[in-house]
Structures are given as C-alpha cells and as structure tokens.
Chain A
C-alpha cells in the first residue's frame, strides 16, 4: 500500500537534456511515456481538462542552451524554437523584417501566456495562430533528429507531419528586401477573429504577404488561412487568381469565391463553418482592397 501511495503522489520525472541529441535520445528511450515540454502552456490546459494525461516523464527543452536566440544570418531571420512569444513580439529585427509574424504573435492568448509560451510550441501544435503568418512568410523549420539537423518547409510540416522523435530547433524566415531602385511595395496583413477581442481561441486567422510591381499588379502573393483546430493552409486558388493582376472589385469578388471554396475549417462547437468561411473570405478581400484598391486619399 505504501508503494501505491507513492506511485499516486509521484510527480513526473523532469529530464533536462543539455543538447537536442540528448533530448531525442530520451524521447526514443521513453516513447509515449514522455513528452517534450517548453513553455508547457498548452500542455497544462490539456492536463487540467483531462484531454491529455500527464506522462511519467517530461523532457524539458528549455534546459538546452542556445535555442532561444533571434538573429539575422545570411539573409535569413533565425528564430530559436525556445524563443518566448513575448520576446519575439518585442524583438527589433522581427518587428523590422517580419512584422506579419509579430502581428500574429501579439494576438496569441494573453500576456501572461506569451511570457511563457515559445514560438516552437506554437509550430509543433500545428494549429497555433502564428502558423498562417509563417506560411505566408515561407518559413522553414530546422529539426534535430538525434544525429543531425534537417530543414523542411513549414508547409511540409503542416501537410504531412513526421511522427519521428525529433526536436524543432529553429524557424528560418527569408528576408525579402525591396529592391531599392524599384517601385515595388511589400505589404502584409494578419487578422484573427475569435469570440471576443483579446485572449481568445481563434475561429479564423488569415495572413497575407504580397509584393506589388510598379504597375500596380501583384508580383508575389501568399495567402494563408487557419483558425481553431484548422491546420492552416495556403489559399492557392485565390493566389493564382491574383498573381500578375491589378485587383479590382470584380477580381476581389472572384477571390472571395475562391476562398469560400479553398478554406475548409475544422469543426468548432461554437461557430458554424459557413460563418468561418465567410469571415475568412471577407477579411482577405477587405485587406486586398485596402492595399491595392482603396482610393489613395482614403489610405490612412
């Protein structure tokens, strides 16, 4: 009986690996009896709600040195997977070179959660609200599989997530510089809609990154949409319709139609799919209209 009491009252073992390879070895050793933990903000809600059971072993990724940095490197922004969301929000290089991501991060959960949660956790969750922004920014992910590092596109991770015991170490964002001599403009938009204004689970998220050519046509555009348990996806039909064109009311109506078809939200008990489709389509076309169509004098 005494043993049983101890077993009941035990806390999980917390393992503190010193490098990603050790973390992977621990995960390989414990299998389903262990989970990787970083900020643990999501896991704790799942444990408390009983939707996940706290396993006997926690592998604390925050103990690995060097994974929380944010730096510019060879034309890329490299964001360590252990960077806290609030550190990302406040980082000058991200604000300057990836304002779309900063805008998305600002709207994740509440301040106290952003102080603990990591960007890597948001990526590994797959339905995190930063993901549409990362898709629109063409981000790549660095994973350590125990023997070495491998990079994959964020779209690949969303499309077909590997179940291998590997650790996300960094998120790489290409830095798209405006050519200094051209009139090309880079623009972005991020919108999140939940059931309230702040500290809310999302129903719909949309992210747009675009570049317009000197003639006002769209030279480059990526539109991603997610929300709730929906795995974010590029809205490729809408992108195709827009590429090379200068948007007008008629084109925006076609884009609206395309998004209604392309965007398939995962069911949410608190909002109808029809509402979420309409919301995604409305937000995208309104953002495009503001950027490309609004009469100049009205642009704030």
Chain B
C-alpha cells in the first residue's frame, strides 16, 4: 500500500514540534541572545594555499569594543579537530590549505565592530602553488599538502581473478562517472551561543549531530575535562551530515573563555559556503563485463575522491563508496581500488548518502549500459545478477538476511508509473515536438550504521519523573527529520502512553545517555531497539509499583493514557503523577548496547541494509536541454514504518536533494576558490522543480525471527534518483550522461520543422 496521509489513517499525526516550527515561534539555537553577549567572527584565509609569514593583531585589539583577538597561540589544548582523525587546525600556524582555513577570531561588542576588527588583523601570506585537482595531487611532482603526502586514505578490495573473468566476457562496458561538489544548504547556517557559567563550566548552544562527540573534541581543544562542558545541540535547522563535524564551536568556546562573556557566532551564507563541508566530488571509473547470457563476470573500479585539505570523515566516506560500488550484484570477480586525496579545494565531508550516492550513480549507469549491449530490458538484466536473501554483503561479509532486494525489484514493474511506461507508446505525443518523454529506473542497496571497527554505541533511558511524566532521554538530535515525532509515536504505540504523559529529552549532554550519533540512518532504528529492550523492565517496574499502591495483582493492570488502567475495562486507576508519589523508589530504566555489526574484520563493513527501487518519468526540452522530473516512484524495503509522516518526508526530502545533485547543484571552484559563493549562484531545486507526482511504497515485512526492526531510511531517498534520471534522459533523447549535474547542452537539438511539416501532429 502506498504511503500517504490517507493510507496512514490515525497513524498520521501532527508532529509535536511542527506548529512552533512552521509558525516561526520556535527559537533555534542560533536565534538565542543574552544580555551582554559579544559577537564573534573568524578571519579566514583568502588564499587556497599559502605560507603564513606573520600575524599581527595589535591594531584589532586596540579597537574600543573589541574584547579578544585569538590566534593559534591562544589554544590551550590540541589546536586540531576532526571526528576520526584530528588534523584540521583550529587556527593555522604557518600554512593555510583552503579558502576557509581559520587564522584568527575576534569577539567584539557588535557584529559590525567584529567585522571591522577582522580587517585590522594583519596577516602576511606567501602564496603557494594550488593543488586543485586530485589526479594532479597524486603525482610525484605535486606540492605536498601534508607531511605524509597527499594521500589521505586508500582502500582496495578484490576477489577472484578479474583479468581472467574479463577474458571470458562477451560484453564489456567502461565509463568514467563524475559527481559534483554538492552543498548541504541547511536553512540555518552554522552558529551558536557560547556561555561561560558562574560555576566555571562552559555551555555550548550549537547544532551538531552528536553532542557528546563535540564535547569530547572541545575538551581536547580547550584542555578541560569533558564534565566542565555542556553541549546543547537541538533543535537544528537542518544538517544532512554537514554539522556533524565541528564548525564554529572551537571559536565560540575559545572566545567565551578568553573574554569571560557570552559570545555569539553565526555564519553568513557566504562564510558557510566558504568554510563548510561539501559532498566529495568523485571520479569513478568502472569496467564491467558479462557473459552472453547477461551474467556479470567481472567488475573493476577505481574511485578518486577529492577530500579537500583535511581528513574529517573522508576515509570513512571512501570506505562506504568501496562497499557500494559493488552493491547488490553478484560477480565472478571484482577489483576495487580507491583513494581519497588531499587538495586545496573546499572541505569535503559527511553528507546524506555518505559516498553511496556517487558509487550507485556509477554502478547503476553500468547496469543500464550493459543491458543495452545485451539487448535486454535493464530491469530484467538486474534481476539476473541480484543477490539472494542469504548471500553475503558486498564485501563478502555476513549481513542480516532480508528479502528486500527481491521485494523492491518486484515492486517497480508493478507500480503505476512503470505500467504507464508500458502503455506510453500508445499514448498521445507530448504537446510540443521538442519535448521528449523518457522513463528510467535504478536499484539501491544502502548500508546503515557506522560499520565494523568504529565505535557505534546506542541506548536510551526511560524515567517516571517526580512530576508524573514519562521521560524518554536519548542522545539524538532533531534536525527537521521528525525524530521527536517518531519517538513520541513509538512510546504511544508500543507502551500505550498518551502524548500528554510524555516528556522527551534530547540534545543536551548534561541530560542524555550516550546513544551515539544521529547519523548513518541509525537514530530511529536505535530508538526502536532501545524501547524494545526497555519495554519489559520499565513496564513491569511501573505496573509493579502500581500493583503495590493499588493492592491489585499486576496482571490486572496495564499502562495507558494518563496512568495505570484496569486491563479489562480500561478504567483509569492511578495517574502517573500519583504513581510517582507512591512509588517507594524512583523508576528509571536505562539500556546501552551497540549498533549491530557484521562479525568480520574489514573496517566499515555494514550489517543492516535498506533496499530501494526508484522509477522516474522525465521530460527533456530539446530546445533548452533542460530536464523536468514529472513523476517518481520509490519502493523502500526497510522494515516497519515507525512514523508515516517522517518516512514519507525522508524519501521526499532525500529525493529533492538528489534532484539538485542530478540537475543543477555544484559548488564550482576555480583554482581553489569558490565561484558559487552564495545561493544566488549555487542553485538548489525550488517548488517549481519538485511539483511532479511522487509515490512511496514501503515494504514493511521482515523475515521471521528478525530482531533488528525498522532499518534506516534517512539517506536512501537521496541515492537512487540520479541514475534513474540519467537513464530516463537516455530513454528520452538517446544521450548517455556520466557527469553530474547533467549538462543541458548535451541534450539540445536544433528543431527540425521539415519533418513536422511532413507529419503534422
């Protein structure tokens, strides 16, 4: 059954944080101000690569109203950050490696004064040759950006004899795919308020996808115990991976501690573009071959990823890409070589899809090209090579078995959109002769969780509070995805609580347990797992205490809206508030576990996967080469739908981002400098692009005995659209696309009116 408001019935709920968000009543963290606060700003390098000869701050410091000017000399702890490998300088010492590199920061009484103070910091640079191309960076004669060279990470994987397998191939396709430097474009740019407290602690109000990770990194920079730092991190005005790494927090924290006053920092869009993360541009060369019947024999892949100047999660993204360039298909032999390369381009990092978007665009492109060589229907061709439920994962690792691959494969030809395609030939031609219609489809197998070898804790806590609330505390973040709504819905549906009984606590390191990060499509899965683990102990504690208070056997009681109810009649017997008063001891249950992983050594291997098939219908205007997405269908096999609105929103929102990735988004750089400096040139889709039809079919069934419950859906909607559109464009105008965003010029044709006159429409 398609997922929408109508089919969801009463499960379609108004999300608790919805009204304050859509009315603008809700204060985001970057909306916060306090009396007496200072305004912080960061001085960033104008050069993509330069040696710092000297930094003089005297003139800025001498300005009235300027309270601090900090440089690398003023960092008490580690002058570096980076979730996986801290090599990103808080303040550069002797060298800048990209146009966002920070050199100094100021705190002043007004934002205008702070801006003026930045101008008075005198930095002498000696420009160095710019390494703006990863292939060039790999050459021996390229300038070395780090002591250990320009290779950030390599990851190779192979099985079978790939040379031998290619020799046996009847058909071989080779192509190089390239993908853009996509920007997250969260509505709320990076920022926050940093408050030195009277007790000596520091409170950081600043969005992040993992408050405890920020706390650890800030403790390292500030050289203070983690317990002296409180990170308040939700609500967040969008993140999509872009705020998982530290951004302004080191500067806000250092300035607040240096001045003893609250400091506010909030990036302008220009600064956000310049300093913020982007999706890794990748060049992926694939050579793939089949036998005469269409069975895949050989697959050779080379991935070159542009990491920009520092590590953040570039190695992990590359590992993810290596897994996903193999994907859901079976080969006789395969060989993947991959490298993530330091350059003087902008910082690349975590972004929804995490390297899967680039990998799967290439892999699905190969499938469509091979099917054509074979003269086969591309969807039927995929079926021949598709994994079976008990097959190992892409890297040969055991994975949780599901039938998702077959299920989404079968759902696509049965969809309204695909049945329409079958009839399309008989239908009327488009209104204008220069408009061409095409259909395309793609298959996605996408891993969730951080993978083998990376600590991936999960957990949560339920408490009956003294004021009679059921408090659910999780270390996850709300960044628009509907996390609070999903948690509330699970508590109502699984325990029987009413929404008024609940208090949800997230995004505050002083108040939440270690639940791990809100990344990698993991939070909803892990909240579901946590509640499953907490359900029996917490329910029995509540019912036990109630039984004692009511002098009734526990099995005559159940949890319900407002309090403990008679199991048979539903009559309210004891309100939660009263239960809290009567309970002999506080009722608190906590669980702590880890995201499930495959029992292998290979770092980054995933264990839980979601599957999706995507079908699209596009219209290409051959006068302008512009592509319109008219209709899309997504089948998603990811276990039960926890929150229908959140599920639909994730697939729709992911698809919208993927449309931008496919048709228009690219943070264009020239010699290490952004040409797209603001949203007037970096264009993302508007409602005008997103008004086509949209259907989502969730496939909820899981194998009997499956213990893992709902799988991640936060990223999968952003992955399959690009290859599906590329194939639909080919179907429409016969032009193959290997580079995103699609270049309209390649799709243009001079209108031929001679033929129109001979055959009037």
Spell out A's residues near B (CB within 8 Å).
Answer: 1-2, 5, 8-9, 45, 48-49, 193-201, 204, 248-250, 252-253, 256, 269-272, 274-275, 278-279, 281-283, 285-286, 289-290, 293-295, 297-298, 300
Which of B182-190, B196-204, B485-493, B744-752 interfaces with chain A? Answer: B744-752
Instruction: Identify 14 new A-B residue pairs, CB closer than 8 A, beyond the known A5-B64, A5-B65.
Output: A49-B678, A194-B683, A197-B686, A249-B754, A269-B681, A275-B745, A279-B625, A283-B624, A285-B753, A286-B434, A289-B756, A293-B753, A298-B760, A298-B761
In the bound complex, do residue A196 and residue B686 qualify as a contact, i.e. CB atoms below 8 Å apart?
Answer: yes
| Bound-complex Cα distance A45 to B628 (A) | 29
Q: B117 → chain A, closest Cβ, in Å?
A: 9
Which of B108-116, B131-139, B442-450 interfaces with chain A? Answer: B108-116
Q: Does B664 contact A (CB under 8 A)?
A: yes
CB-CB under 8 A from B432, the residues of chain A are 286, 290
| Bound-complex Cα distance A245 to B232 (A) | 73
Q: Does B626 contact A (CB under 8 A)?
A: yes
In the bound complex, do residue B64 and residue A279 qualify as a contact, i.e. CB atoms below 8 Å apart?
Answer: no
CB-CB under 8 A from B677, the residues of chain A are 49
**Chain A, interface SS category:** helix
Question: Beyond A9-B113, A279-B748, is A248–B757 a contact (Cβ under 8 Å)?
Answer: yes
CB-CB under 8 A from B64, the residues of chain A are 1-2, 5
**Chain B, interface SS category:** loop
Q: Does B701 contact A (CB under 8 A)?
A: no
| Bound-complex Cα distance A295 to B683 (A) | 38
CB-CB under 8 A from B65, the residues of chain A are 5
In the bound complex, do residue A8 and residue B112 qualify as a contact, i.e. CB atoms below 8 Å apart?
Answer: yes
Instruction: Name the residue on B nearest A278 (C-beta).
Output: B748
Contact among A2, A48, A201 with B681 in the assembled complex (CB-CB below 8 Å): A201
CB-CB under 8 A from B687, the residues of chain A are 198
Q: Does B668 contact A (CB under 8 A)?
A: yes
Contact among A5, A8, A275 with B748 in the assembled complex (CB-CB below 8 Å): A275
CB-CB under 8 A from A2, the residues of chain B are 64
| Bound-complex Cα distance A198 to B270 (A) | 22
| Bound-complex Cα distance A300 to B757 (A) | 17
CB-CB under 8 A from B683, the residues of chain A are 194-196, 200
| Bound-complex Cα distance A5 to B760 (A) | 74
| Bound-complex Cα distance A233 to B624 (A) | 20
Q: Does B552 contact A (CB under 8 A)?
A: no
| Bound-complex Cα distance A97 to B116 (A) | 52
Instruction: Name the residue on A nearest B741 (C-beta).
Output: A195
Instruction: Name the residue on B nearest A252 (C-beta).
Output: B753
Q: Does B675 contact A (CB under 8 A)?
A: yes
Task: Please name the 8 residue pairs, one residue from A and one from B, whose CB atoms are nearest each other, closest first.
Answer: A295-B760, A197-B688, A198-B688, A275-B745, A249-B753, A282-B623, A298-B761, A249-B754
Q: A127 → chain B, closest Cβ, in Å?
A: 14
Instruction: Name the residue on A nearest B670 (C-beta).
Output: A269
CB-CB under 8 A from A272, the residues of chain B are 745
Q: B247 → chain A, closest Cβ, in Å?
A: 21
Q: Does B431 contact A (CB under 8 A)?
A: yes
Q: Does B649 contact A (CB under 8 A)?
A: no
CB-CB under 8 A from A45, the residues of chain B are 678, 680
In the bound complex, do residue B113 and residue A8 qualify as a contact, i.e. CB atoms below 8 Å apart?
Answer: yes
Question: Beyond A197-B689, A275-B748, A283-B623, is A270–B668 a contact (Cβ under 8 Å)?
Answer: yes
Question: Beyond A49-B270, A193-B626, is A278–B664 a contact (Cβ under 8 Å)?
Answer: no
Pick 26 A–B contacts, CB within 8 A, sort by A.
A8-B112, A9-B110, A9-B113, A49-B270, A196-B664, A196-B689, A197-B626, A197-B689, A201-B680, A201-B681, A249-B753, A249-B756, A269-B670, A270-B675, A271-B745, A275-B625, A275-B744, A275-B745, A282-B622, A286-B751, A289-B756, A293-B757, A294-B756, A294-B761, A298-B760, A298-B761
Instruction: Name the residue on A nearest B752 (C-beta).
Output: A249
CB-CB under 8 A from A8, the residues of chain B are 112-113, 116
In the bound complex, do residue A286 and residue B623 qualify as a contact, i.e. CB atoms below 8 Å apart?
Answer: yes
Q: Does B398 contact A (CB under 8 A)?
A: no
In the bound complex, do residue A198 and residue B686 qualify as a contact, i.e. CB atoms below 8 Å apart?
Answer: yes
Q: B684 → chain A, closest Cβ, in Å?
A: 8
In the bound complex, do residue B751 and residue A285 qualify as a contact, i.e. CB atoms below 8 Å apart?
Answer: yes
In the bound complex, do residue A199 and residue B623 qualify as a contact, i.e. CB atoms below 8 Å apart?
Answer: no
Give the interface centre of A9, A282, A290 by most chain B CB atoms within 10 Å: A282
CB-CB under 8 A from A293, the residues of chain B are 753, 756-757
Instruction: Name the residue on B nearest A204 (C-beta).
Output: B624
CB-CB under 8 A from A201, the residues of chain B are 680-681
In the bound complex, do residue A297 and residue B760 qualify as a contact, i.e. CB atoms below 8 Å apart?
Answer: yes
